[in-house]
Chain A
Amino acid sequence: MKLLLIILSSLFADANAQYAAGNYAEAVSLYEQQLELEQTPAAEIYYNLGNAYFKQEELAQAILCYERCLRLAPSMRDAKHNLAFAQSRIQDNIQDTNTFFIRNWLISFRNLMSESEWIVLSVVCFFLLLAMALLFALSREPHLRKTSFYIALVALIVTFIGVINAGRLHHRDSIREEAIITQGVVNAKSSPDRSGTDLFTIHEGTKVNIKEELGEWCRITVGNYVGWIKLSNLERI
């Protein structure tokens, strides 16, 4: 295990050196190799891989890597910046007009932390809740009981929020609904076969939601549009 760690860190250093020298293709292959070897890859590997893809002008792969990086470390500011920069370069300008603004707030609030971080937060708050509950139950001092009651109430709310957000994030990651279009130009069809009417065109790098799969086709939603495209045209985050 220790040997593997040494190999992995030297791989990372090699890949960074290749990136610094401008050999982005080599850097990409080294980062990919590392991702294959590691069971729980660090977010930074995805971030660097995304950068290497970006330098090779492979926007879709870069966006995919940044998204995966942010799944692991939602608070990584560099990754957020680069993702926004890469997204500014893609062709499609998707605006979801249907979603209510509070929903967007909730989603961005949920994305402030990763699933593990939400769990850690809720566990800590749960500890606090229990401690305060015990204090409340066992103390006879009215002042102490009052304070502990309010602290316990807040801890309970935070615990619930943490658990709910962790659950939502876990759900999102387990169904892997979000995907990035990897094909240059894709025509979305009205039905899951070749003869279907072309409904709309989306371009490389656009983020879509997979709602349903049928053979090699999947039904996607993007903004307010719904259509069928081939699974090979996209890659799940």
Chain B
Amino acid sequence: MKRILISIFLLISAIGVMADENITFQASAPKQVVQGQPFQVTYIVNHRAGDITPPEFVDFEYLAGPYTSTSQSSTFVNGQFTSTYQQQYTYTLRPDKQGTFTLGAATIKVGSKQYTSNGLRITVLPPDESVQASGNSNKKSNASSAGKTSATTGNGDIFIRTIASKTTLHEQEVLTLSYKLYVTGMDIRGFTEKTQIPEFTGFLKQELDQKDIQFELEHYNNRNYQVATIYQTLLYPQHAGDIEIESGSFEAIILLPNTHRRSFFDDAYIQATKMLKAPGITIHAKSLPAGKPADFSGAVGRFSMTQSISETELTTNDAVTIKLDLSGAGNMKLIKTPAVDWPEGFEPYDPKVTNNFQTSSSGVSGSKSIEYLAIARNSGDYTIPSITFSYYDTQESQYKTLQTPEYTLHVKKGVGDASTGNQGTMANYTQKEDIKELGTDIRYIYTGDLRHTNTNGRLKFNSLLFHLLFLIPLAIAIAIFIIFRKRIKENADQTKVRYRKANKVAQRRLKAASRMLQANDKEHFYEEIEKASFTYLSDRLSIPTADLSKDNIADILRHKGIDDNLIHDVLDVLSTAEFARYAPSSDHQMQEMFNTTTQLINNLENQKL
């Protein structure tokens, strides 16, 4: 089905081409004509045709026509036979009014079909003033005062004008500079090698391709000239200020009518060279206004931007491409490639830039497409910040910033394939990376609450508080020391007294015991005996009675260097007293106990304790 459709389409298009190629019907005439001078309008048809119906010559005076001529040629090239046929109708007209007029279309009948030609626009220029004014002297002064170098020979005139499309513009904005050759009354053959085009310092120059020089009629300074653009270039001012373009010079080869022609065999024209100066011109370049965006890099003109990203879901070691298309008109060649701030974890490559510029006399336009390629090395979610491109808009006289949206990329961890050596990337993770320092800056301000109660600055060396902080504790410490010392001393005094009075107390208790002995109060007697021994030992040893027991007395006494027999006696008395208190015993035993105890205390009294 598809094939059939294609073949039908091809067939139809072939027929169309045939039909188009078959018959063309075209009108041609000079674009500019001079009032009062006849000119010719020609209609050409490439097929044998019938009568022509010319348009109505409303704005032009019909003089003659149509003159018909036919021509035919056949060629046989590389086995291909081509034949061309031309039928030509020529009318002679004379413009009588100045202005721009439209000549309507003519129609012609070829076979049974009507064909219509194109319409024509013809500008009628005023007649040459110098034709009427035969003198050239005033013309010459006129020309020089207009700021150009002219070469006037006989009735002829030749000069070059320097024409800038703008003389006041912003830096980096484009201007077209043309050298136009104005010629009348002579023929020009060409230029010699002595032609000098200025350097255009201060500008970036981009020459325009020179097509064939085509002359047109132009009315300038009351004369009609043959005018041709002989040189054209685009200029971009590179800095602000008045930039002067020096004058250029062209040496033209011209043909002059031979005024000294003596015989018919002499040449009717003589060839001469003429130095023509293209006047200099000053361009006022304004600096770009303040408030340049941070990423502004000198782009001036009008631009638009489109962008696309290849994919946003990828696995590690996949490549991602961001494509950016900048199109517009301006100093396209100077545009710097905007940078993409790839996040860490991507391995970026140099962007690939494809330029597609068209250069015309109105400047450079076209598009620049940039492909940014990066390979994701680590998994995770990443955000690629928007790419910005700033330029100065010459039409709206302000800076503009184009911006791509932010892209969020999700990178999945690639499936590890041991057989293909994908372990290599896994092994990378074992190599620890130091934290990369991307930049240094001061740390951020303190944003917490202020501690108004801080003592900083209040506590000063040598201040009263400082001294008090040392003196008060010292005083307290000294006071504590004195009080404790005193108490210890008092305690010591007390023990001394008790030491001295130990015998007395013991004797008093023994006396009480003897009373019990007489009263035969056995229980109280032994109690008194025990107490007498204990209190005596306690006072003599300066150990509280509570800390004394039968168990430690021996140790303490031995420590004091007391005789073992005496210690034995002490222990004997104490244990007997304790035992006898609750056991039945005779009076004799009580008397003996009393004597032993008295003897013991006396013995201890003589010992140094």
Query: What is the interface of chain A, defined by CB distance below 8 A to chain B?
Result: 5, 8-9, 12, 16, 19, 40, 42-45, 47-48, 51-52, 54-55, 72-73, 78, 81-82, 85-86, 114-116, 119-120, 123, 126-127, 130-131, 133-134, 137-138, 163, 166-167, 169-170
Contacts and interface: CB of A to CB of B under 8 A. Distances in A.
Contacts of B456: 40, 42-43, 72-73, 114, 116
Interface of B is mostly: loop
B441 A123 contact: no
B134 interface: no
Contact of A116 (B459, B473, B484): B459
B477 A115 contact: no
A44 B450 contact: yes
Q: Which 6 pairs, one residue from A and one from B, show the smallest C-beta to C-beta distance?
A: A170-B461, A116-B459, A130-B477, A44-B446, A48-B445, A82-B442
A134 B470 contact: no
B457 A72 contact: yes
B174 to A, nearest CB: 37
A5 B453 CA distance: 11
A73 B469 CA distance: 22
Most buried by B among A48, A73, A116, A134: A116
Interface residues of B, number: 34
21 contacts: A5-B452, A9-B449, A40-B454, A40-B457, A42-B450, A43-B456, A78-B443, A78-B446, A81-B443, A114-B456, A116-B457, A116-B459, A119-B461, A119-B466, A130-B473, A130-B474, A130-B476, A138-B484, A166-B461, A170-B460, A170-B461
Contacts of A137: 481, 484
Contact of A54 (B442, B451, B458, B474): B442
Contacts of A163: 461
Nearest to A169: B461
Contacts of A40: 454, 456-458
Given A12-B450, A55-B442, A119-B466, 14 more contacts: A8-B450, A9-B452, A51-B442, A72-B456, A81-B442, A85-B440, A85-B442, A116-B456, A116-B458, A130-B473, A131-B477, A134-B477, A169-B461, A170-B460
Contacts of A85: 440-442
B286 to A, nearest CB: 30
B78 interface: no
Nearest to A78: B443
B450 A9 contact: yes
B455 interface: yes
A6 to B, nearest CB: 10
A123 B469 contact: yes
Contacts of B450: 8-9, 12, 42, 44-45
Contacts, number: 97
B454 to A, nearest CB: 7
Interface string B417-454: 00000000000000000000000111111111111101
Contacts of B440: 85
A43 B451 CA distance: 9
B29 to A, nearest CB: 68
B480 interface: yes
Nearest to B461: A170
B462 interface: yes
B543 to A, nearest CB: 14
Given A123-B469, A127-B473, A19 B445 contact: yes
Interface in B143-188: none
B469 A119 contact: yes
Given A72-B457, A137-B481, A170-B462, A42 B441 contact: no
Most buried by A among B446, B447, B459, B474: B446
B456 to A, nearest CB: 5
Given A72-B456, A119-B469, A170-B460, A47 B446 contact: yes
B467 to A, nearest CB: 11
Contacts of A45: 450
A90 B451 CA distance: 32
Contacts of A131: 477
Contacts of B480: 134
A70 to B, nearest CB: 12
Nearest to B465: A119
A143 B83 CA distance: 134
